[in-house]
Amino acid sequence: MEFVKLNPTSNSTVLVTSRHPVQHYQTIAEQLLRVEHLHAEQIGFVLPPESDQAHLRLIMAGGEYCVNACMALAALHASARSNVASLDLVLEASGTNEPTSCRVEPTAMGFRCRMGIASPLQIEPYPFPTQHGGSSLVKFHDSVHLVVEAPAITQTLRRHALATAQRLAASEAASVIGVMLYNPTENAIVPLVNVPAVGSMIWEGSCGSGTAALGAFLAARCRQSVSLSVRQPGGSLHVAASYRAGAVTDLQVTGEVTIVAEGKAYVHV
């Protein structure tokens, strides 16, 4: 199979660009994710768009919606178009029922991508052990992220996050479950992402949808628009969220993407 490996803020992503049966996606992903294979945090499959209004289509191995992977696909598309100052793209993606927009601009090292993200369906308090600040579930169409405020990210906190991610996967009908450990003093998160369909539970280098959830959480709590850079283990993502008439709107996440490898990979299905 043909692939491209990209680095959206250290959330290593492999995009499979050749066509394969959908029933093989999970088996393919399980092999590609391994350390002894391509070793990535997530796998996506590039397909032709179904709508005339869309430029690109991305199906993740677990059927989830992944902001960083969408940015990676947008950057890959832009890389084939030289001498273009910027591109405005419309993407179809798994895990969301509506197209998403992305503006891509070339940089010295790769590409800067700004993704528009659908507003959350619900933001509600959720209890968390050893909690020092607020914690809330931010529910999107097919993903759920728990934002937990904590002044220090301890091993005990990480263990509770793993257990909570497993409980939420059992109780929430969502393709992706995230637990964002948020240090408000440093504007930093440590993202844990659980994709039950592929058995993936990873402390990721960065998480785009988790960053969006943090922006929505802060805007809803403060009842005002927010715009901030969020530090993560692999770098920083920027999130902006508007707050109007009691609702969070106009969510946007901006990050950097580089292309690190491409070629052929071999798997057994």
Neighbouring CB atoms inside 10 A of 146's CB total 24
Strand duo 135-139 + 176-183: pairing: unpaired
* Neighbouring C-beta atoms of residue 239, cutoff 10 Å: 25
For strand 200-203 and strand 188-195, is the pairing parallel, antiparallel, or unpaired?
antiparallel
pLDDT band at 41 (very low <50, low <70, confident <90, very high): very high
Q: In the chain, what are the helix, strand and coil shares in percent, each to the nearest 5?
A: 20, 40, 35
H or E element in which residue 170 lies: helix 155-171
pLDDT at 199: 87
Residue 112 pLDDT class (50, 70, 90 cuts): very high
pLDDT of residue 132: 66
- The DSSP string of 22-77 is GGGHHHHHHHHTSTTTT--SEEEEEE--SSTT-SEEEEETTS---HHHHHHHHHHH
What is the architecture of the domain spanning 2-116+256-264?
Roll (3.10)
Question: Which pLDDT score is estimated for 131?
Answer: 61
Mean pLDDT of the chain: 94
Say whether 122-253 and 2-116+256-264 share the same fold: yes
Question: What confidence score (pLDDT) does residue 84 get?
Answer: 79
What is the tens place of the pLDDT at every residue in 167-205? 999 999 899 999 999 999 999 999 999 999 888 899 999
Per residue in 116-162, pLDDT (tens digit) is 999 999 999 998 876 667 899 999 999 999 999 988 888 999 999 99
Task: Considering the domain delimited by 122-253, tell me its CATH architecture.
Answer: Roll (3.10)
Tell me what percent of the residues of the chain surpass a pLDDT of 70.
99
Sorted by where each begins, the domain ranges of the chain are: 2-116+256-264, 122-253
Instruction: Please check whether residue 28 is in contact with residue 18, taking contact to mean a CB–CB distance below 8 angstroms.
Output: no
Q: How confident is the model at residue 238 (pLDDT cuts 50, 70, 90)?
A: very high
Q: For residues 146 and 103, what is the distance between their CA atoms, to the nearest angstrom?
A: 28
